[in-house]
């Protein structure tokens, strides 16, 4: 049997990897756990398991930053296969809510990132067309999404030589959420010129040109979006919807009736006439909008009516776009599983006030994330991945593969204890000593306020320092981590964000303040994760500032010593001399984050060049050509394409012929 996935890697499995790969690959389908220490190559092990299976793969990560890192790594491992990215498309999200104690209604406010929205559609379209697909996602994959059967059934198949009217093509495109726009040619739009229709599909790099001769499709051609040159002629193709929430006219008509029926049976059950009048006015307005334009604010709250779901029946989500036997990885499972478990309760608590006080119908409850029990039904072929798996993973797994030995020979860091007395003076000395060696420092504290105060204190001692916490958005966090690696900062102070998945080989010192305060951030699992941030450097040292030895500290130190002993024995047996991990500092920690963060910036750049002189434009164009070639050489095609768009814009401004 030929394999779906072709793994590209310049090295072979080593250390604990071969045994872990064999155990995980053999226990398929099944429930397994990969216990992999930091720096042991867990992602490479995952890639090898994927290469041994012939089925689509979903990799679930607890946050966007880690998801983007995994997307980049899997794209490099599987360049001949499809790697997709599916995370929440909100740059800003304030959910609708009602605070009864203050009698304050908060309307929903969002800012959608168009690049992430395109990538989401790209991911689901890939699942409809091929099997060699790896989708990297966050916990957003358990939230309500359109019916995959409706999504597929409403797609538009086209074949050269088939008979269809041009107006019928246009009508079908509008039905599946494409917008006719002759000026702004962005993803999800189409243009019409005589007997030619050009469609910019969110999941296709090239645009599709449909050439008509009367009512006959004379040609189907993929065309370069910028040059308008023919890339590839087609005999047939399928156009999938531009958005996930699409529904047929018949289902929409049925939904309007069932919404009216629900209102009729619900409004008089509200105890207050004000609430009764409120819900009647809200639904009447929404129904009017749905009849007139097919859309209303908060339409997702009526999704059960459009999907034809019964009360309490779970919504469709990304998991339903996969076949039943797909392979599921849950990365950093000790964090991801509690997140998955808590999503439903939080959503329901918020909806409760909205429904009881007349802002929403009870069916709004069913526009929700999956419950954990519903998510568990997809755990037929799952691998949990973590350096510190929780009780759930360990108790439900039939195979637990331990990956302790690092191929690089790097050992777990040395751990030192230091009293709180004189701790800041000692910390300053250690940071300066680490900086003198050319390395960086991470300091973890318990609160955001402490992070800011400690950063100011260190800055007053002439240390190049920055702080990192949850109020900083993902692009800002990425930029700070990049500057730390480059040496613009020597020290970074943070809270919980310093734990899972940060690949910072330049870090040689990790300082844990208040290590003896037993809490979620200082339990055994958290301490091991924090200690792991220093596991990519031969000079690594971890300092625990504490006045007593807690149970969590003792267990974390014992586990670190056990792992270091195993690694040292392996190194001695195989004659390995450990070396610090070396990794190029790119302009962004992840190319996908760069593309997302700069999607709107590219639009603004087009306006700025209009005010530049000719010499400035020529200088910019030369610099873009150099950067474009460099991006292509390292196979960073997302960045190369973005730079090429700027190059064309500048060339047009200069009014010179385009290079072929």
- Average pLDDT for the chain: 86
pLDDT in the model for residue 226: 82
Res 623 pLDDT > 90: no
Average pLDDT over residues 145-172: 90
Above 70 in pLDDT, residue 587?
no
pLDDT bracket for residue 658 (50, 70, 90) = very low
Q: Find the mean pLDDT for residues 211-227.
A: 91
Query: Could you tell me which residues are beta bridge partners of residue 403?
Result: 36
Model pLDDT, residue 594: 54
- pLDDT reported for residue 535: 80
Average pLDDT over residues 59-70: 88
The pLDDT > 90 percentage for the chain reads 50
Tell me the per-residue pLDDT of 345-379, one tens digit each, with 9 for 90 and over: 889 999 999 999 999 999 999 989 999 999 999 99
Each domain of the chain, given as residue ranges in start order, spans 156-239, 414-574, 598-654
Q: What is the share, in percent, of the chain residues with pLDDT greater than 70?
A: 89
Q: State pTM to two decimals.
A: 0.77
Q: What pLDDT does 640 receive? A: 67
Query: What's the rounded Cα separation, in Å, for the pair 660 and 652?
Result: 14
Q: Is 499 helix (H, G, I), strand (E, B) or coil?
A: coil
More confident residue, 596 or 173: 173
Higher pLDDT, 40 or 110: 40
For every residue of 589-612, DSSP letters joined together read S-HHHHHHHTHHHHHHHHHHGGGS
User: What pLDDT does 262 receive?
Assistant: 95
Select from 131, 39, 145, 144 the least CA-distant residue to 365.
144
Q: Is 374 exposed, middle or buried (0-12, 13-18, 19+ CB in 10 A)?
A: middle
Give the single-character DSSP code of 530.
H
Residue 635 pLDDT exceeds 60 = no
We find that the CATH architecture of domain 156-239 is 2-Layer Sandwich (3.30)
- Is residue 588 over pLDDT 70? no
Residue labelled with tokens 């860091």:
413
- pLDDT of residue 637 exceeding 80, the answer is no
- For the residues 118-141, what does the mean pLDDT come to? 91
State yes or no: pLDDT of 57 exceeds 70.
yes
Question: Stretch 164-188: mean pLDDT, rounded?
Answer: 88
**Amino acid 600: pLDDT:** 44
Span 460-484, pLDDT tens digits: 999 999 887 666 655 566 677 778 8
Between CA 562 and CA 571, with CA 568 as vertex, the angle to 5 degrees is: 145
pLDDT number for residue 589: 39
CB 625 within 8 A of CB 647: yes
Which of these, 591, 566, 593, 612, lies nearest to 15 by C-alpha position?
Answer: 566
Residues 336 and 62: beta-carbon distance below 8 Å: yes
Residue 136 in tokens:
């990297």
Helix (H, G, I), strand (E, B) or coil at 85: strand
pLDDT at 351: 93
Residue 493, strand partner residues: 443, 467
1-10, 330-339, 495-504, 562-571: least confidently modelled range: 495-504
Is 75 in contact with 43 (CB distance < 8 Å)?
Answer: no
Query: Which pLDDT belongs to residue 431?
Result: 95
Q: Is the pLDDT assigned to residue 501 strictly greater than 70?
A: no
pLDDT at residue 634 above 60?
Answer: no
pLDDT at 660: 42
614 falls in which pLDDT band (50, 70, 90)? Answer: confident
The CATH number assigned to the domain with range 414-574 reads 3.40.50.300
Most confidently modeled of 161-170, 299-308, 466-475, 520-529? 161-170
What is the rounded distance in angstroms from the CA atom of residue 553 to the CA atom of residue 518? 9
The 10s digit of each residue's pLDDT in 244-301 is 777 777 888 899 999 999 999 999 999 999 999 999 999 999 999 888 877 788 888 8
Tokens of 276: 């009764």
* pLDDT > 60? residue 595: no
What is the SS3 string spanning 321-377? HCCCCCEEEEECHHHHHHHHHHHHHHHHHHHHHHHHCCCCCHHHHHCCCCCHHHHHC
SS3 content of the chain, % helix, strand, coil (to 5): 45, 20, 35
pLDDT digits (tens, 9 = 90+) for 379-422: 999 999 998 899 999 999 999 999 999 888 888 999 999 999 99
Question: Cα dihedral sign for 491, 492, 495, 498?
Answer: negative
| Amino acid 406: pLDDT | 87
Angstrom distance (rounded) from CA 350 to CA 251: 28
Average the pLDDT over 512-522 and give the result: 90
Q: Is the pLDDT of residue 146 over 90?
A: no
pLDDT confidence of residue 659: 45
User: Residue 502, by phi and psi: left (phi above 0), alpha (psi -120 to 50) or beta?
Assistant: beta
Task: Specify the higher pLDDT residue, 91 or 350.
Answer: 350
Give the pLDDT of residue 607: 47
CA atoms of 348 and 354, how far apart (whole Å): 10
Q: What is the pLDDT of residue 361?
A: 95
């Amino acid at each position: 049997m030929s394999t779906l996935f072709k793994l590209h890697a310049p090295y072979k499995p080593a250390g604990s990897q071969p045994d872990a790969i064999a155990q995980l690959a053999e226990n398929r389908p099944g429930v397994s756990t990969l216990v992999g220490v930091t720096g042991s190559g867990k992602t490479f092990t995952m890639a090898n398991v994927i290469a041994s299976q012939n089925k689509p793969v979903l990799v679930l990560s607890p946050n966007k930053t880690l998801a983007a890192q995994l997307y980049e790594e899997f794209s490099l491992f599987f360049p001949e296969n499809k790697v997709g990215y599916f995370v929440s498309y909100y740059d800003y999200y304030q959910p609708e809510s009602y605070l009864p104690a203050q009698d304050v209604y908060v309307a929903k406010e969002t800012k959608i990132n168009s690049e992430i929205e395109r990538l989401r559609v790209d991911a689901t379209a890939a699942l409809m067309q091929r099997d060699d697909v790896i989708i990297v996602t966050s916990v957003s994959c358990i939230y309500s999404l359109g019916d995959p059967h409706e999504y597929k059934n409403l797609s538009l198949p086209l074949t050269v030589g088939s008979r269809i009217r041009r107006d019928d093509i246009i009508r079908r495109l509008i039905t599946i959420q494409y917008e006719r726009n002759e000026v702004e040619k962005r993803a999800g739009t189409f243009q019409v010129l005589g007997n030619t229709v050009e469609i910019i599909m969110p999941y296709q790099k090239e645009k599709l040109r449909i050439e008509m001769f009367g009512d006959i499709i004379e040609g189907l051609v993929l065309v370069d979006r910028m040059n308008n040159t023919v890339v590839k002629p087609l005999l047939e193709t399928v156009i999938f919807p531009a958005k996930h929430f699409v529904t047929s006219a018949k289902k929409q008509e049925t939904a309007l009736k069932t919404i009216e029926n629900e209102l009729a049976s619900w409004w008089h059950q509200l105890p207050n006439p004000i609430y009764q009048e409120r819900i009647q006015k809200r639904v009447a307005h929404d129904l009017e909008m749905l009849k007139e334009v097919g859309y209303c604010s908060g339409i997702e709250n009526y999704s059960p009516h459009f999907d034809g779901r019964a009360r309490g029946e779970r919504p469709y989500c990304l998991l339903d776009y996969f076949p039943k036997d797909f392979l599921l990885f849950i990365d950093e499972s000790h964090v991801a599983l509690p997140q998955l478990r808590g999503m439903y309760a939080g959503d329901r608590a918020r909806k409760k006030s909205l429904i009881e006080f007349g802002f929403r119908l009870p069916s709004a409850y069913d526009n929700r994330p999956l419950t954990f029990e519903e998510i568990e039904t997809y755990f037929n072929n799952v691998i949990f991945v973590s350096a510190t798996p929780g009780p759930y993973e360990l108790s439900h797994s039939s195979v637990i593969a331990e990956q302790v030995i690092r191929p690089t020979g790097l050992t777990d860091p040395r751990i030192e204890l230091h009293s709180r007395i004189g701790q800041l003076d000692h910390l300053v000395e250690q940071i300066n000593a680490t900086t003198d060696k050319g390395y960086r420092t991470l300091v973890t504290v318990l609160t955001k306020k402490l992070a800011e105060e400690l950063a100011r204190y260190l800055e007053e001692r002439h240390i190049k320092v920055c702080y990192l916490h949850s109020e900083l958005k993902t692009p800002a966090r990425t930029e700070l981590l990049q500057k730390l690696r480059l040496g613009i900062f020597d020290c970074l102070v943070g809270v919980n964000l310093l734990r899972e998945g940060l690949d910072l080989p330049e870090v040689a010192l990790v300082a844990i303040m208040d290590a003896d305060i037993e809490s979620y951030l200082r339990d055994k699992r958290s301490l091991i994760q924090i200690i792991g941030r220093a596991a990519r450097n031969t000079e690594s040292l971890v300092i625990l500032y504490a006045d007593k030895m807690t149970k969590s500290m003792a267990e974390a130190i014992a586990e670190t010593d056990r792992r270091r002993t195993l690694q040292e024995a392996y190194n001695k047996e195989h004659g390995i001399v450990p070396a610090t991990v070396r990794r190029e500092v790119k302009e962004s920690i992840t190319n996908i984050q760069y593309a997302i963060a700069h999607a709107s910036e590219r639009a603004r750049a087009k306006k700025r060049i209009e005010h530049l002189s000719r010499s400035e434009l020529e200088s910019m164009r030369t610099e873009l050509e150099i950067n474009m070639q460099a991006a292509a050489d390292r196979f960073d095609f997302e960045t190369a394409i973005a730079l090429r768009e700027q190059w064309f814009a500048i060339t047009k401004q200069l009014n010179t012929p385009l290079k072929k």
